[in-house]
Amino acid sequence: MKKIIGKWNEISLVKRIIVGLIVGIILGLLIPQVTVISILGDLFVGALKAVAPLLVLFLVMGALARHEKGKKTNMKRVIFLYLCGTFLDGCVAVITSFLFPITLSLSESAEELTAPGGIGEVLQNLLMNLVANPVDALVNANYIGILAWAVLLGIALRKASAGTKHAIENISDALSEVVRWVINCAPFGVMGLVFSTISEQGLTALLSYGRLIGLLVGTMVFVALVVNPVIAFFAMRSNPYPLVLRCLKESGITAFFTRSSAANIPVNMRLCKSLGLDEDTYSVSIPLGSTINMGGASITISVLALAAAHTLGIQVDFGTAVILCVLSAASACGASGVAGGSLLLVPLACSLFGISNDIAMQVVGVGFIVGVIQDSCETAINSSTDVLYTAVAEKWTKRKEGKKQGAQAT
């Protein structure tokens, strides 16, 4: 038995999820009456629902507590590009979601929900969630309240002793490890979710997954080949495509298969060196980028949240969409370092529309079904832009310095 488990664990998670997906489809077609199989999907979603609130709290709190006040890194332009890129990616995802609305196969109907009345009600709910009791926020998975308390506690804990900060970091690491254990069960969870969908709705339900993958991947390709080059051009004022394509080729392709920005750091470091970039800059910017440069995650969060809203018949106005862009960009920065991190933050965006945590976690389950392709593309976008924006920031600085020297000479 141990040998079988060992062999199973040696297979990559992507391949195991594909196996779970295929087995779920076959079982759903052959034995739809054996409904007990669907409990695997319920257990998987339930486990994610249980650990996600604590994970968000301790990850954000720990990251803020570790920050050294007044530390100079000369990284202003790089960080600006990271944040600007993440925000614009979220905006593009919102626009494409409005142009090509997607509906998902969820078990609860729209009649069971009350949609927010507009931007005023959304803002009121947002502000009330911010000041929610922290214990109540954790119990009810109020992610906006959790995020607010995590930020406040993280800032307050900057003055704490090294031992306290280390303890918080250990708890964050422990929760991340628990999430990894849960994610390792994803093949069985996906099998149960797909079985449930196929047995209840037939093969036509898979069409919505195909559309969702098309929208996610199409948006990410547009970002990689249009949005990022535009950002690079405005900073460098020169043709950005040679640099963009090289970053995609040498960093993006590797990241696509590793599905980890952190694991791709050595690849990005070598690429920066071959591009002749300043080592003092990229030695800081590349590890930092793997944490906060999450444009791909911003796309995933926005698309899935709006897909949930469209499915439930919730009308999203322009003001709410703008808030979603900001929220998806901000929450995406906390998605790094956790397997399925962007998916676990989808409930945060869904809460903006008054969507319950139960339904939001069903959307997360759908995300895991399409995650074989989505997560690979998302990581490729995230990791390749770490190098791209580092190089662009350096060229931007040189261009500005060249202008100053020219002005002084005249």
Mean pLDDT of 256-271: 76
Calculate what percentage of the chain has a pLDDT beyond 90: 13
User: In this model, does residue 67 exceed pLDDT 70?
Assistant: no
Higher pLDDT, 385 or 185: 385
> What pLDDT, in 10s, does the model give residues 375-389?
778 888 988 999 999
pLDDT at 389: 94
Token look-up 């308390």 returns 149
Task: Quote the pLDDT of residue 336.
Answer: 52
- Percent with pLDDT over 70 in the chain: 83
How far apart are alpha carbons 22 and 314 in whole angstroms? 32
User: By mean pLDDT, which of 68-77, 105-114, 299-308, 382-391 is the weakest?
Assistant: 105-114
Task: Judge contact between 309 and 355, C-beta under 8 A.
Answer: yes
pLDDT, position 259:
67
pLDDT of residue 243: 94
Is the pLDDT at 184 greater than 60, yes or no?
A: yes
Please report the sign of the dihedral spanned by the C-alpha atoms of residue 352, residue 357, residue 363, residue 364: positive
User: 82 near 292, Cβ under 8 Å?
Assistant: yes
pLDDT digits (tens, 9 = 90+) for 282-315: 877 887 777 677 788 889 888 998 998 888 888 8
Structure confidence at residue 148 (pLDDT): 81
Q: Which of 398, 399, 386 is nearest to 78 (CA)?
A: 386
- Which residue, chain included where needed, has tokens 């944040």? 83
Question: Which region, left, alpha or beta, applies to residue 337 given φ > 0 means left and ψ of -120 to 50 means alpha?
Answer: left
What is the reported pLDDT for 312? 86
| Mean of the per-residue pLDDT values of the chain | 79
The residue with greater pLDDT, 392 or 10, is 392
81-119 exposure pattern, b = at least 16 Cβ within 10 A, e = fewer:
bbbbbbbbbbbbbbebbeeeebebbbeeeeeebebbeeb
**Alpha-carbon distance 15 to 21, whole Å?**
10
Q: Which of 362, 50, 391, 398 shows the shortest CA–CA distance to 243?
A: 391
Q: Is the pLDDT of residue 116 over 80?
A: no
- Contacts for 163 with CB less than 8 Å, ≥ 6 apart: none
Q: In this predicted structure, what is the pLDDT of residue 218? A: 94
Digit-coded pLDDT (tens) for 7-39: 777 777 767 878 888 898 898 888 888 888 889
- Give the model's confidence band at 332: pLDDT under 50 very low, under 70 low, under 90 confident, else very high: low
Length of the chain: 410
Residue 44, pLDDT score: 81
Residue 257 has a pLDDT of 66
Report the pLDDT averaged over residues 232-259: 87
pTM of structure: 0.69
* Angle (nearest 5°) at CA 263 between 260 and 264: 90
Residue spans per domain, the chain: 12-405
- Summarised one tens digit per residue, pLDDT across range 149-173 is 888 888 888 888 888 888 888 887 8
Residue linked to tokens 């949240």? 305
pLDDT of residue 357: 78
Q: Quick one: which of 90, 111, 121 has its CA closest to 316?
A: 121
| Among 365, 382, 409, 49, residue whose Cα is nearest residue 212 | 365
CATH T-level fold of 12-405:
Proton glutamate symport protein (1.10.3860)
Q: Which residue has the higher pLDDT, 246 or 295?
A: 246
DSSP state, residue 262:
T
